Structure 1
Amino acid sequence: INDLVGGDICFAFGWSGDVVIAKHRAIEAKKPYKIEYYIPKGGAPVWFDVMAIPKDAKNKDAALQWINYIEDPKVHAAITNAVYYPSANTEARKYVRPDVANDPAVYPPADVVKTLFLLKPLPPEIQRLQTRLWTELKSGR
């Protein structure tokens, strides 16, 4: 985010919310350039966060209360307004600021959403290879 805002880089692959945060920071700092977020015409991976309660959780009631709180439309909208990631909570959208709700980087139009796809899990042998290579890279071997 800071490198985009500071002009240290001019192109980046990034999460939509991070790029939109950078865009707003650049506007606030009156930078002479515009930061934009694009989804390739051929589509891109889509992701989502999930809240789940482990079956052995010690305080399931508190976890349920937390999830219910976060899923309140006004709370979810406040999160979207702060981090520029869309909410799957359709009721929250009416509380999202218009500039955020109408930003196609936050809420892409339907024709763009149709091009998005979920990544499939890699086979176990590839996951093991990734883990081994990442460990080697981190350890400097």
Structure 2
Amino acid sequence: MVMVKVTLRGLILVASLLLAPLAQAESTLEEQFEALQSAMLDKDHQRLSELFAYDGILHIANMPPVEGRPAIGGFFSRLFFFLESTRYTHEYTSIAAGNDVAWMTGRVVNTFAGDRESTSYDGKFLMIWENGDDGWQIALYSVSNNAPN
């Protein structure tokens, strides 16, 4: 039988070594989320689409899914003609222990130009991120609409 002496200092060291990659991942994800918000505000569909995995999926309420980075870039290029403003409120991030998948949730308010007046809708978002050879990229971005219909 082998006896191991565990000290508080040892436990703290082990915990910090285990948690350091997750803390770094959370910081990187926050930077990526800020880049997404900036690209949305700047209406830069190219920069925005580069945040998605090449085979990423965008799913907006009441619309068919948009699959693949080129199609997602095209979708946002067209959307930006009508989008007047967008505001995100990030509420929660969770990172898988393997540091390869993460998800974010929150709220979003989008305002679109109309024929006579602007229309806003409130919704919720879910972003699933994957950490691969190119770093953290969006695998799935889904936006709901809080409207009753």
Report which of the two has the higher share of helix: 1
Normalised TM-score (structure 1): 0.21
Between 1 and 2, higher relative CO (CA 8 Å, sep ≥ 6) is seen in 1
Normalised TM-score (structure 2): 0.20
Report which of the two has the higher share of strand: 2
